[in-house]
């Protein structure tokens, strides 16, 4: 089957050809003809399957008739995160390059005024996160009575993030004569209930069983000691052992605070890393993402919320620094690699406390995940020790590396500040407020001989 068989308009077809796509993906082949026919669609598909184009392309075709009126958008797409919303906008720009459509993006972290001006001009396509959209609605800047097509994307994620009451409210504000295109990677009971309430005789298009992982992703469990420093060391060794095969990677943590700590630690160990978490402002997140996408950054440490649905083609590796507590998150995380048929690798660090979560994941994906170098029963006493290995006991190679690093640091201290610094060192400095510097150095170089017995007052940094 080709795109020409799906019934898309010539303008859309030409943009698809320019984008370099020749064959529709299964979700596109299944959903587009029904969406063009004006039917409600329930698409069960993960990100990475081409599902964005499966609603953007038919919407563009249908929008060719009619025009927008002030404050009355013609279509509305709801996304759980700002990044996803921005990506959908990019898709509209890419595939809509032969159209003259007004697109408005309503997301948090951006000024209300600019968004209001766009709404005032009349939006053909309104892409929004639920909270920001309702804010505009409550300010009286938005009328939803003209919406002809409603898209609810990543519904299971909306559920995780507590957006379902907002979604229900929005659905009730839009005329029931609308067409609804609804997408979710999994179908938990709350989502099924939502579809029963708000979709009318939907055509169900399911491209893979809920929560299956792609066959082209090599998955491995990696035993690790449970202390944070032990996990960080394990991760570093793992990254190094992958060598040139590691083109770029996303490293997932369960908590925002862990994202920040791991990011700082990686930079300190001279890895080319950046961070993405929900507390960063929109501009910083976008810049970080853009750098990663362009290949200016090799490792991206991220939380689930920040990374959900990111369209980053060709990520070679995913590392789960923490085992996700929700099994579905595992599927989403590792789905960042092995996209569009490429091969990818996904490593998950597992400590003794994580066993039950691993069992949950294996149950969900219906397969056992292989261990990288032995299961948890092969953890050694040192792996589980409370103290870091003393540097006296380190291998000669490691000692040499440490001493080289010490020397470099000494030199850096003695040199006057350079005028021009690399982006890398700038990033390092930006993320290292002086108040944290002491604890970070402590982290990289544990005290020799005293171990944890050094009284805290002795660890205060001296002035250089």
337 contacts ligand AMP (rule: CB under 6 A): no
> Interacting stretch for ligand AMP, rule CB under 6 A, among 46-54, 237-245, 248-256, 446-454?
46-54
| Closest C-alpha to 225, from 378, 442, 449 | 378
* Contact residue for ligand AMP among 156, 311, 328, 443 (CB under 6 A): 311
From the CB of 25, what's the least distance to ligand AMP, in Å?
5
| Binding to ligand AMP, residues 87-106 (CB under 6 A) | none
Task: Give the nearer residue to ligand AMP in terms of CB position, either 61 or 115.
Answer: 61
Q: What is the dihedral of CA 399, 405, 406, 412, to 10 degrees?
A: 170
24 contacts ligand AMP (rule: CB under 6 A): yes
> Interacting stretch for ligand AMP, rule CB under 6 A, among 17-25, 139-147, 408-416, 454-462?
17-25
From the CB of 86, what's the least distance to ligand AMP, in Å?
13
* Contact residue for ligand AMP among 21, 92, 252, 347 (CB under 6 A): 21
25 contacts ligand AMP (rule: CB under 6 A): yes
From the CB of 32, what's the least distance to ligand AMP, in Å?
10
Count residues near ligand AMP (CB under 6 A): 16
- The interface mask with ligand AMP, positions 110-129, x = CB under 6 A, is --------------------
> Interacting stretch for ligand AMP, rule CB under 6 A, among 45-53, 159-167, 190-198, 209-217?
45-53
Counted residue by residue, the chain has a size of 464
Task: Give the nearer residue to ligand AMP in terms of CB position, either 148 or 311.
Answer: 311
From the CB of 408, what's the least distance to ligand AMP, in Å?
40
48 contacts ligand AMP (rule: CB under 6 A): yes
1 contacts ligand AMP (rule: CB under 6 A): no
| Closest C-alpha to 207, from 358, 72, 46 | 46
81 contacts ligand AMP (rule: CB under 6 A): no
From the CB of 84, what's the least distance to ligand AMP, in Å?
9
Q: What is the dihedral of CA 325, 330, 333, 336, to 10 degrees?
A: 180
CA-CA-CA-CA torsion sign (193, 198, 202, 205): negative
340 contacts ligand AMP (rule: CB under 6 A): yes
From the CB of 167, what's the least distance to ligand AMP, in Å?
20
| Binding to ligand AMP, residues 49-68 (CB under 6 A) | 49-53
| Closest C-alpha to 345, from 213, 203, 163, 170 | 213
Tokens of 42: 């329930």
* Contact residue for ligand AMP among 162, 313, 393, 433 (CB under 6 A): 313
Cβ atoms within 10 Å, residue 159: 19
167 phi, psi to nearest 5 deg: -65, -45
Q: Enumerate binding residues for ligand AMP (CB under 6 A).
A: 21, 23-25, 28, 47-53, 311, 313, 339-340
């Amino acid at each position: 089957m080709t795109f020409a068989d799906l019934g898309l308009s010539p303008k859309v077809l030409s943009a698809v050809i320019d984008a370099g796509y020749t064959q529709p993906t299964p979700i596109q082949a299944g959903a587009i003809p029904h969406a063009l026919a004006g039917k409600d669609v329930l698409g069960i598909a993960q990100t990475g399957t081409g599902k964005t184009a499966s609603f953007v392309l038919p919407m563009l075709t249908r929008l060719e008739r009619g025009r927008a009126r002030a404050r009355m958008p013609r279509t509305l797409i709801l996304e759980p995160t700002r990044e996803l919303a921005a990506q959908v906008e990019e898709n509209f720009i890419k595939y809509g390059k032969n159209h003259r459509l007004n697109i408005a993006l309503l997301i948090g972290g951006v000024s209300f005024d600019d968004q209001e001006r766009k709404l005032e001009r009349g939006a053909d396509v309104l892409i929004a996160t639920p909270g920001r959209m309702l804010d505009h609605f409550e300010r009286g800047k938005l009328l939803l009575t003209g919406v002809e097509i409603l898209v609810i994307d990543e519904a299971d994620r909306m559920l995780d993030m507590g957006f379902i009451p907002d979604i229900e409210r929005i659905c009730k504000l839009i005329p029931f004569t609308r067409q609804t295109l609804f997408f979710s990677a999994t179908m938990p009971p709350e989502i099924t209930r939502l579809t029963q309430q708000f979709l009318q005789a939907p055509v169900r298009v399911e491209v893979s069983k809920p929560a299956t992982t792609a066959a082209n992703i090599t998955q491995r469990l990696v035993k690790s000691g449970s202390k944070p420093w032990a996990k960080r060391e394990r991760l570093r060794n793992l990254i190094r052992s992958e060598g040139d095969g590691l083109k770029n990677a996303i490293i997932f943590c369960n908590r925002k605070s862990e994202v920040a700590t791991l990011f700082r630690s990686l930079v300190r160990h001279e890895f080319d890393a950046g961070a993405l978490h929900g507390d960063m402002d929109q501009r910083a997140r976008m810049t970080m993402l853009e750098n990663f996408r362009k290949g200016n950054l090799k490792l991206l440490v991220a939380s689930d919320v920040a990374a959900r649905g990111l369209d980053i083609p060709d990520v070679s590796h995913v590392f789960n620094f923490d085992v996700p507590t929700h099994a579905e998150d595992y599927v989403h995380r590792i789905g960042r690699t092995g996209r569009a048929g490429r091969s990818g690798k996904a490593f998950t660090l597992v400590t003794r406390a994580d066993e039950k979560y691993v069992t949950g994941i294996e149950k969900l994906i219906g397969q056992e995940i292989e261990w990288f170098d032995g299961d948890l029963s092969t953890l050694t006493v040192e792996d589980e020790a409370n103290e870091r290995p003393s540097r006296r006991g380190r291998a000669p190679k490691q000692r040499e590396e440490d001493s080289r690093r010490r020397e470099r640091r000494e030199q850096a201290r003695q040199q006057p500040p350079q005028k021009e610094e690399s982006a890398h060192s700038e990033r390092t400095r930006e993320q290292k407020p002086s108040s944290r510097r002491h604890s970070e150095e402590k982290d990289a170089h544990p005290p020799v001989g005293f171990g944890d017995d050094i009284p805290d007052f002795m660890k205060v940094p001296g002035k250089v």
